[in-house]
Amino acid sequence: MKACPKCRIENEESSRFCKKCGLELSDSSFQHKKEKVLGGKKGRPSWSIVLLIVVAIALGGVAYWLIQGNSNADPKLSSQPKVTGKVDYTGQTIRMADVQAKVENGKIIIPVHVVKENKFIRFEYEGKGLKIPLYAYLTMAGRVVTGISMCEPCKSTRFRIKDRTLVCNACDTEWHLETHKGMKGGCMNYPPEIIPNTLEKDSIIIDEKVVVNWKPRV
């Protein structure tokens, strides 16, 4: 039974109109059902808030991981000049090609095309009573990275590129090619030291003084 909201007379559930005053009852029944349905959903918006909070925490965690993951990257890497587009080393092993550099007016000079063609080169600075091995390679982002070609703890002067890593030929220690962050091996804390370079026309330029003043870390 359902009561008429106007005269309060009891009517059959199936009645559309009040048997006494004739008031249409279907609207009130619909409203009652609507309120009942909506009333049962009052607690649901809270789940949306919980979901948003969970998503925000997850995104924050990803951002933190990305920042922390690059926190050990050598800041010198990002300042190295870009000379080409992206380079894909997937499934490849690139060994050092031996080349000769030119020393002139306090500059150690390597043609850009030599680095582009070989991707990873080794050359030596000889002067002022010193003989220092150097390297230059292309990162996956297309930057030219130059530095001292030496794994200082094990004294190896040769490396190779394997997929996304820089690998010492002697001890097999691996560093990430883009960050120089140690990945595995006994010499992870001593990636081959970066020596800044600049790009002048079609040549990679290294300051001779920086190389002459270089001292091993160990």
Domains of the chain: 2-40 (no CATH), 77-212 (2.102.10.10)
pTM, entire model: 0.67
More confident residue, 70 or 73: 73
Q: Residue 41: its pLDDT value, please?
A: 46
Residue 65 has pLDDT above 50, yes or no: no
The mean pLDDT of 48-70, rounded to a whole number, is 64
Nearest to 110 by CA among 144, 161, 59, 66: 144
The mean pLDDT of 16-33, rounded to a whole number, is 63
Residue 85 has a CB neighbour count (10 Å cut-off) of: 7
Nearest to 193 by CA among 175, 170, 171: 175
The mean pLDDT of 14-18, rounded to a whole number, is 75
Mean pLDDT (the chain) is: 85
Which range has the worst mean pLDDT, 70-79, 146-155, 192-201? 70-79
pLDDT band at 165 (very low <50, low <70, confident <90, very high): very high
pLDDT band at 28 (very low <50, low <70, confident <90, very high): very low
Instruction: Give the DSSP H or E segment for 72.
Output: none
Dihedral pair phi/psi, residue 126, rounded to 5°: -125, 120
More confident residue, 11 or 125: 125
More confident residue, 105 or 32: 105
Nearest to 190 by CA among 143, 155, 161, 165: 155
User: What are the tens digits of pLDDT across the range 173-183?
Assistant: 999 999 999 99
User: What are the tens digits of pLDDT across the range 75-95?
Assistant: 888 889 999 999 999 999 999
The mean pLDDT of 39-67, rounded to a whole number, is 62
Q: Residue 64: its pLDDT value, please?
A: 45
